[in-house]
Structure formats: C-alpha cells, structure tokens
Amino acid sequence: EDEAFLAAFKARIDAEEKIEPNDPMPEGYRRTLVRQIGQHAHSEIVGMLPEGNWITRAPSLRRKAALLAKVQDEGGHGLYLYSAAETLGVSREQMTEELLAGKAKYSSIFNYPTLTWADIGAIGWLVDGAAIMNQIPLCRCSYGPYARAMIRVCKEESFHQRQGYEIMMTLAKGTPEQKEMAQDALNRWWWPSLMMFGPHDTESQHGDQSMKWKIKRFTNDELRQKFVDATVPQGEYLGLTFPDPELKWNEERGSYDFGAIDWDEFWRVVKGGGPMNRERLEARRKAWDDGAWVREAALAHAEKRKARKEA
C-alpha cells in the first residue's frame, strides 16, 4: 500500500464519501470492519438467548407478542450484519466457525443470566438503550453497507428500548414486590451495561484508528458518558436507585460523575469466564449442529437447479 493510495483513501474519508464493497481500501480498514461487524453480528445472535429464555414465561399474551417480535428482530439484525461483513470477503460460515471455536468475540453483556421477568425490562431499557447510543453514530460510518444496515437496526432498537422501559415502569409502579424486582434487575444490569461501551479510551486498542477512518464517530468513554447522562433521569423517574454511591450530577461539566468500573470483571467475561459464556456457546453449537440438515438440503437443491439450468 503506497503513500499515494493511502492519501487518496484518507481524502475520501475526510470528504465524508461512503466506501463501497468494490472500492480499493487499506487492508487494515477491511480487517477492522470484518472484526467489528462480525462481533456485532455475533452479539445480535447470541443476544437472542438471554431473552429467548423468557418467551415461554412472559406474563401475558401482549408481553409475549412483543418479546417474540423483539427477539426475531435481533435474528434479523444478525443476518443484515453477516451480509454486510460478507461484502468484505469473509463468509458467514467462516465467521460462525470462529464464534463456535471461541475465537470471535461477542458483547460481554450477553454472558449474564436473566433471572426474573424484570430482567427483560432492564435489558430493553439499559442494554438496548446502550446499543442505540453506540449504533446511531454507526449510521454515519464510512463503510456504506454497515451504515445503511444500521438505519433499520436503530429504528427497531428504539422499539426494543421502549418496550423494556414500559415493563420497568409497570413494575416500578406496581406492588412493593414488583418494585423490588425492578430494583434488583437494575442493580444487576447497570454495571455490565456500562461495560458494553468497551475499555476506557486510554486502553482502547482500535479506538484512535477507527475514529480516523470514521468507522467510529465517538470514543468508548464519550458514548458511555452520553448513556449515563440520558439514563439516570429515566431511572429517577421510575423511582429506582442506581447501584453506584459515586453517581452524582456535576454542575461544572453538565454531566454525571460515576464510580469506577470493575475492569477485572469485564476482561474475565470477555475472555470466556462470565457466568453464562459456556451455556451461550453451547446453545449456538447445538443450533448450528441441529441446522446442518437444512444447510445440506439447501445446497443440494441449489446444485440440482444449477444442473437443470445448464442441461
């Protein structure tokens, strides 16, 4: 990759041009996107599991219909994202094999268990809320297929966040036991939600380069702060408290100060040692194995059709 090529590429990025699949691009740019979009796709697919756990136990038909729709949306997001990554020259099979071998990452958040119905509320409110904060700027990502996929994804995420917050509202305004459940879910999901944004900027390996390439538009810490600032008033409106004694409005900064994140826990979960990592990968492996006959049948059908066309 000579300097003239890199300079021309940088000029396109600086001019806010979208980079499309067949355009020349630096190898590092392609690799970063494959990594991030692949991880993002896996997160959507693995993310179906914690909530799928409650579909059969949703407290009413209406709640069940909304939860089913949301989990299906996540399956759809995973598919758009695998397709976006495929435009960069990797196959979905390759990405799936890396996930199942424990080599590809997916979001740390999906390695925590969903213990009560209130967790479905907390996930919609906090986890999908954090996802939107991170994904709205990705609609302006320099890589065209990823940016375009994010537009619909964000619209659907916004519905997911609303359904979660509405569950929290119902519980928080319900019986003392219901309010207690909502509080317990907030206590358990708050810190892992802050971890979703990734390590501090000073520790973020890819952050600077991804900002220069306009893959990322805000840093990890910037997005985490925006999320805290947007979410704390929502929690106060519910009459719930955040499990952080250091959380406090900072008049000077016009932002909330908050306590230190437990980075040991974060890295333990990212590296496979979270409470549900094993179960999540086992469930994905089982789904892949159980679906083998469908892939084989589809391939056989495609080959027959091709042979018939050629004959």
The binding site for ligand ACO (CB under 6 A) comprises 35-36, 39-40, 43-44, 47, 105, 107-108, 131, 134, 195-199, 204-207, 210, 220, 270
Buried/exposed 2-34: b ≥16 CB within 10 Å, e otherwise: eeeeeeebeeebeeeebbeeeeebeeebbebbb
- The torsion angles phi and psi of 255, rounded to 5 degrees, stand at -150, 165
Nearer residue to ligand ACO within complex by CB, 31 or 57: 31
Nearer residue to ligand ACO within complex by CB, 132 or 171: 132
Shortest spacing between CB 114 and ligand ACO, in angstroms: 14
Shortest spacing between CB 220 and ligand ACO, in angstroms: 5
Shortest spacing between CB 100 and ligand ACO, in angstroms: 17
Nearer residue to ligand ACO within complex by CB, 33 or 186: 33
**C-alpha–C-alpha distance, residues 109 and 45, integer Å:** 13
Nearer residue to ligand ACO within complex by CB, 161 or 183: 161
Shortest spacing between CB 61 and ligand ACO, in angstroms: 25
**C-alpha–C-alpha distance, residues 99 and 104, integer Å:** 5
Nearer residue to ligand ACO within complex by CB, 38 or 235: 38
Nearer residue to ligand ACO within complex by CB, 185 or 196: 196
Contact yes or no for 100/281 (Cβ under 8 A): yes
**In Å, how far are 27, 124, 169, 202, 227 from 132, measured between CA atoms?**
29, 11, 20, 23, 9
Please name which of 24, 77, 69, 17 lies closest in space to residue 47, comparing C-alpha atoms.
77
Contact yes or no for 71/52 (Cβ under 8 A): yes
Shortest spacing between CB 42 and ligand ACO, in angstroms: 8
Shortest spacing between CB 262 and ligand ACO, in angstroms: 13
Shortest spacing between CB 195 and ligand ACO, in angstroms: 6
C-alpha 277, offset from chain centre: 16
Nearer residue to ligand ACO within complex by CB, 99 or 131: 131
- What lies within 8 Å, CB to CB, of 243 at 6+ separation is 186, 187, 190, 191
Encoded tokens for 69: 């729709």
Angle between helices 92-100 and 277-290 (to 10 degrees): 140
